[in-house]
Structure 1
């Protein structure tokens, strides 16, 4: 009997070891901290220390879980000791299959973490192991209910948008994506995996030092717009650059500019168009070269330099991007499979700007606001809906020119004003 028991124990350990490997550093006792929501995305080379400090500070001394499908414990000492941020523990799971991802012990560690980091590798491993199962549910609960900080580099960044390139059939080149946006390597997922605030309509990409990435990223957005009949957005990073988004939607860019050309890119497909249909690609069909030209302005791209202290930022939401300072603007387009870029000036495409904004017959002020928002309009009948930064409706009014917001916490809000087919949305900050 003892031999049988010992054999069962060894077999159980073998199965667990085949499904995942765990590397633990720090305390084995779980702690609860006053953590904060955030998103940190790295371009794929060595991590930017200041961005990683930003990430760890959001955990507020809590527990960090690193999820990866290859490699070992390279993040453990880096997070736990090298950056000088006090945290309770770092646990790395190298997941080998779906069974490892949905192991109850792994899920419990993920659920109880304050910070989750996705390493690089092959993003299809993450899609295969984590999607449509208990791990997906646990991750989305961590993001939207617990509101912990999440991030990733390279493949780990690639899976964070509501749209994503899955790499199911391997990577895809510029030439393949532009010559046929439905090439068998153009495997995209839409709104069916991670649900991360501020990344609605967004497809991310990394390793942007390689110019070959930009044309294929444009093709990703063309597919998203075509397949979903809606606008598409993109966020991308050069290899040593990071984008860190806080709970107000402020996207800070970290790097070593001006010593090195380290930038983040924010791609917008609808900033100069009144009608959502106006910005759809002219030709995005299987077997034919992509054309997304629209007078050379299919994509309006703001290139923001990353500095050691994250001095420059833009506001991010599922509606688009704000107009930051110290930036470079470009127009991107594709004509019969040929990708081109041109420098341009700020098109002021932030329809949801954080300064006082007036458009058409409606104005909303002040912005930022404190306890009262005033709506000025020639409309007699109009509906007002107010949403928080996570897209939850927090208030609804009708025909009210003065909106009492004294019960709302400080932060980022979106106000939708609609009447008889007219609808305008405003991004507002409460101090």
Structure 2
């Protein structure tokens, strides 16, 4: 199926200075204040909305309803792999000063966009051009390093807790979008309709069990938005106190051992750890985004406007303790290294051999259309003498961290 474009505004492409920021919305009506914050990072440039189904419902809203002047708003419906590799789609995405992923079915986004020119363009915009990025509902669900695929249909909390390896618990990891601030994070949406706390805890348990590494969760009630700036500070927007709009920042307790006691196929999940398995910072969303949480360290030091909770699961039953003590962790040297991990390479431009400052788990090289060209494992040096001259992108991966770099082959 071909792409469909709905365009509002000036058709001339403009180039504007942008600020990287990330706006995650819970899936119901958009929060106007959060969306204004999102648009303000675009420099008044060209806004692109992408989706698999639907039409132009965002165009007038983003172009004229919020009072933020932008050059254009274009909605592109991308309903197939061929559409995702279309030259027009690729060009318009890369020209964008902000991108927003609409709601829909996240399995469609993964099925049609992963490993295509759309995938490559989105990661270029996130990691190289550094523009505002956002999504609602399914568009939020695919933003983390890990994501719930829903490839076999949606799952409720009771069903997930009763069998963490059931056929509906389908999780992708580290193969789609690569926001550095969302490394080892899985998101969830529509959190209060129905109650999705149990299923996200199950996702976190599965990721911990399968990787032997702790993952983190960010969740939004339906009318709530989490807005993360380039320094990693997340502000929460919503309608409180008129409405009970919440966001949650969820992490395994750092008191060891912290892994689930029982996370096996065909058995109910138990993740208890003396009633303190998961430390959760809950924030009410307000019109000013008054509550905030620091995603650089996930600690209490820069947490404002919220309260701590303890979550735990015994035999598939989730329990919550309010007014809990804050998480208190001592960062080890290794954890500090991981948080500050940066991937560097030389020379640039390169003719034959490229070296890296550390040994990488995986190096994936793609051309400008998003086509996979080469992969390397467990190395700090590669030979690309056989590559044709031109511009390429590489995904550099180590310890669940991913960075996207651009390089020129001479």
Distance across 2 between alignment mates of 1:176 and 1:387: 34
**Which 5+ residue runs of structure 2 have no aligned equivalent?**
346-356, 358-410
**Which 5+ residue runs of structure 1 have no aligned equivalent?**
1-17, 353-358, 363-381, 397-431
Cα deviation for residue 20 of structure 1 reads: 1.6
> In 2, are the aligned partners of 1:387 and 1:393 still within 8 Å (CA)?
no
- Which string of whole-angstrom CA distances, capped at 9 and with x for unpartnered residues, describes residues 205-241 of structure 1? 0111135311001001001111111011000011111
> In 2, are the aligned partners of 1:329 and 1:344 still within 8 Å (CA)?
yes
Q: Partner of 1:44 in structure 2?
A: 27
> In 2, are the aligned partners of 1:20 and 1:100 still within 8 Å (CA)?
yes
Cα deviation for residue 393 of structure 1 reads: 7.3
Cα deviation for residue 76 of structure 1 reads: 0.3
- Name which of 324, 343, 355 aligns with 1:345: 324
Distance across 2 between alignment mates of 1:386 and 1:296: 29
> In 2, are the aligned partners of 1:293 and 1:333 still within 8 Å (CA)?
yes
Distance across 1 between alignment mates of 2:300 and 2:170: 30
Distance across 2 between alignment mates of 1:387 and 1:266: 18
Distance across 2 between alignment mates of 1:386 and 1:200: 11
Distance across 2 between alignment mates of 1:203 and 1:25: 33
- Name which of 162, 183, 199 aligns with 2:166: 183
TM-score by length of 1: 0.76
Distance across 1 between alignment mates of 2:217 and 2:25: 14
CA RMSD of aligned residues (A): 2.1
Distance across 1 between alignment mates of 2:328 and 2:87: 47
Q: Partner of 1:165 in structure 2?
A: 148
Partner of 2:227, secondary structure, is: strand
- Name which of 252, 264, 271 aligns with 1:285: 264
- Name which of 288, 309, 330 aligns with 1:330: 309
Partner of 2:104, secondary structure, is: coil
Change (3 A) 1:93 1:162: same
Change (3 A) 1:333 1:386: closer
- Name which of 136, 139, 143 aligns with 2:126: 143
> In 2, are the aligned partners of 1:233 and 1:320 still within 8 Å (CA)?
no
Q: Partner of 1:246 in structure 2?
A: 229
Q: Partner of 2:386 in structure 1?
A: none
Structure 1 or 2, whichever has the larger Rg, is 1
Residue 307 of structure 1 pairs with residue 290 of structure 2 = no
Cα deviation for residue 322 of structure 1 reads: 4.4
Distance across 1 between alignment mates of 2:313 and 2:25: 27
> In 1, are the aligned partners of 2:279 and 2:327 still within 8 Å (CA)?
no
**For this pair of structures, how many residues does the alignment match?**
344
Change (3 A) 1:203 1:386: closer
Change (3 A) 1:252 1:122: same
Partner of 2:124, secondary structure, is: helix
Cα deviation for residue 296 of structure 1 reads: 1.0
> In 2, are the aligned partners of 1:263 and 1:305 still within 8 Å (CA)?
yes
Residue 298 of structure 1 pairs with residue 277 of structure 2 = yes
Residue 35 of structure 1 pairs with residue 13 of structure 2 = no
Distance across 2 between alignment mates of 1:120 and 1:39: 16
TM-score by length of 2: 0.80
